[in-house]
Amino acid sequence: NFNCFLILLPVCRNLLSLIRNILPHCIAKARFRRVTKRLFDQNIGFHRCVGYAICFWSIIHVGAHVYNYERLIDVNNEYQSLPSALNLLYLQSSESQVNPLDRANPNSLGVGSMLSTTAGITGVILCICLIIIFSSSTALIRRSFYEIFWFAHHFFILFFICLIIHGLQRIIKSQTNVSEHNPEICASLYLEWGVNEQCLIYPRFSGSEATSWMWLCGPLGLYVLERVLRFIRSLQRVEILDIIRHDSNVTEIRFRKQFMQTPQPGQYIYLKCFSIALFEWHPFTVTSAAEDTYVSVHVRTAGNWTSDLVKKLAMYPQQIPRLGVDGPYGSAADDVFNYDGVILVGAGIGVTPYAAILKHIRSSQSNDVRLRRVYFYWICNTTSCYEWFAEMLQQIEHDFRDRPNFLTYHIYLTKWSMREARAVVQNNSDQRDIWTGLESKTSYGRPNFAADFQGIINEDWQMTQKRDIGVFVCGPKPLAKELQCLCIKLNDHSSPNKVQFYLNKENF
């Protein structure tokens, strides 16, 4: 009951967004504000942990019932034992029935007798629902067959209904007349019940009240409100302004700012295409700056839903698909301006959260913010990826010529062909990079973060107080793990009064 009470709260994203925006303002210290936001950014991880806990305790619960069921069958073959005495209480009074199998069908003690009870039927359905939900939640299913994952997860509706019904028959009972029939004394005198002066009155039992509904009403109510709010938002028309097709199976969607709140750098929105799936929402990072007159997202083809969406967008402007928008919602990246320096690391399409941040920095160029230095890393495995944001990077490079120490960017190519290698050699003397058009040349291979981070520690920032550096990463788990270990190592070995690294990973 407790875990099922918790399981729905992390997916009430409007509620979490409200708390996430309000709670940090009530906390004085910046470090505690970061920790609070980071906890809310781990909502899906918490949701998974609660799911694992439900599965674990369900196995224990089912195992205990199987053991008890075996005992209930065996007790019918026992004589002159305490369990057999309890089993025969129904002969004295129907209110004293302890064994639920006898009441269901006294002449049959097979599996059918167990399934003839409300708890037995709903218990089997609960187990089936858990198996379906759990087996369809693997990373492979989520990434390649998201629709299966999404629809299978909605078995939670049947799961919650059965959970509420599960205990209504009240077959788990406890003694109600302990003062008249002391179990500590009478347990050893079961052959003298009704005769012995200390046990003249037979024990009476009553089923425990069903309490699951008490635990579930609150979260279910909040979740229903969440879904209603999403539905209302989805009814509002989204005006598409432009569709831009990039290389590497990436499509940019630009739509007008209308009813929605202006997204801040690093935030994300949920998109729904009515002609593909009426109830499916998919998250995408906003790549436009708050100062832009439009909202943009970059969609990479990575599954059935995104493939269908790109096909429908390809017919623009002859045919315009109807989209629904929900958001924006905060992420780890919206805390980027609360550090002395930030290290932005994006791998492939993982660069999208930082595109809006770099655009915002370029358009504002304010000197009153805390942020003093930005280190930008973009790791790609194909040169065609650079086409997504090459123009933006060129503009940023031009605008920050007079502040060379503020923005440092490192672009890495991890895979290349012989043709690309020859092109690099032939154009090595050019002032600008052959792939990005930037003055800073593309590096080949993987970045040496340990050396780069150490260099950042040794830099002269002309600051007397400790430097707080936020490390933001959006990419595969091994990359995030590498940076996490590096931050921990450097924080342990560096002077606490000199520099402190804080890892922030995108999660949605």
Residue 87's CB: how many other CB atoms inside 10 A? 19
pLDDT at 351 over 90: no
For CA atoms 170, 174, 177, 180, the dihedral sign is: positive
Listed in order, strand segments (DSSP E) in 259-331 are 268-273, 282-285, 294-300, 323-329
pLDDT at 31 over 90: no
Stretch 58-72: mean pLDDT, rounded?
Answer: 85
Q: In this predicted structure, what is the pLDDT of residue 171?
A: 79
Residue type, 124: V
Say which amino acid occupies 91.
Answer: L
Closest by CA to 504, choosing from 123, 4, 37, is 37
What is the residue extent of each domain of the chain?
2-212, 240-330, 333-505
Q: Rounded CA gap, 234 and 221, in Å?
A: 20
When pLDDT is cut at 50, 70 and 90, the band that residue 459 belongs to is confident
* Assigned fold of 333-505: Rossmann fold (3.40.50)
**Chain segment 274-319, per-residue pLDDT in tens:** 888 887 888 888 888 877 888 888 888 877 888 889 898 888 888 8
Model pTM?
Answer: 0.77
Instruction: Name the more confident of 439 and 209.
Output: 209
DSSP string, 334-399: GGGGGSSEEEEEEEGGGGHHHHHHHHHHHHH--SSSS--EEEEEEEESSGGGGGTTHHHHHHHHHH
Q: Is the pLDDT of residue 328 over 80?
A: yes
Task: Check whether 463 has a pLDDT greater than 70.
Answer: no
Mean pLDDT of 169-180: 82
pLDDT recorded at residue 256: 85
Does 191 or 105 have the greater pLDDT score?
A: 191
Average pLDDT score over the chain: 81
Cα 145 to chain centroid distance, Å, stands at 17
Query: Could you tell me how far CA 361 lies from the centroid of its own chain?
Result: 29
Instruction: Name which of 7, 47, 508, 2 is nearest 220 in CA terms.
Output: 7
Are 213 and 298 in contact by the 8 Å Cβ rule? The answer is no
470-500 pLDDT, tens digit per residue, is 899 988 888 989 999 998 888 876 655 578 8
Query: Looking at residues 438-456, what average pLDDT do you find?
Result: 83
Which pLDDT band, with edges at 50, 70 and 90, does 57 fall under? very high
Handedness of CA 466, 467, 473, 479 (dihedral sign): negative
Structure tokens at 99: 């064994």
Residues 286-295: b if buried by 16+ CB within 10 A, e if exposed: bbbbbebeeb
Percent of the chain with pLDDT over 70: 85
Q: Does pLDDT of 420 surpass 70?
A: no
Residue-wise pLDDT tens digits, 196-207: 888 888 888 888
Comparing 155-159, 173-177, 501-505, the range with the smallest average pLDDT is 173-177
Q: What is the mean pLDDT of residues 216-225?
A: 93
Residue 209: both structure tokens together: 């009240």
CA distance 376 to 100: 67
CATH of domain 240-330: 2.40.30.10
**With bands split at pLDDT 50, 70 and 90, how would you rate the model's confidence at 158?**
very high
| Distance of alpha carbon 327 from alpha carbon 295, whole angstroms | 12
Among 291, 427, 413, CA closest to 348: 413
**Average pLDDT estimate for 49-56:** 95
Work out the pLDDT band at 104, boundaries 50, 70, 90. Answer: very low
Could you list the beta-strand ranges (E) of 331-466: 341-347, 373-380, 407-413, 443-444
CB atoms within 10 A of CB 149: 18
Which residue(s) pair with 346 in the sheet? 378, 474
Q: Give residue 314's pLDDT.
A: 86
**Which H helix or E strand runs over 481?**
helix 477-493
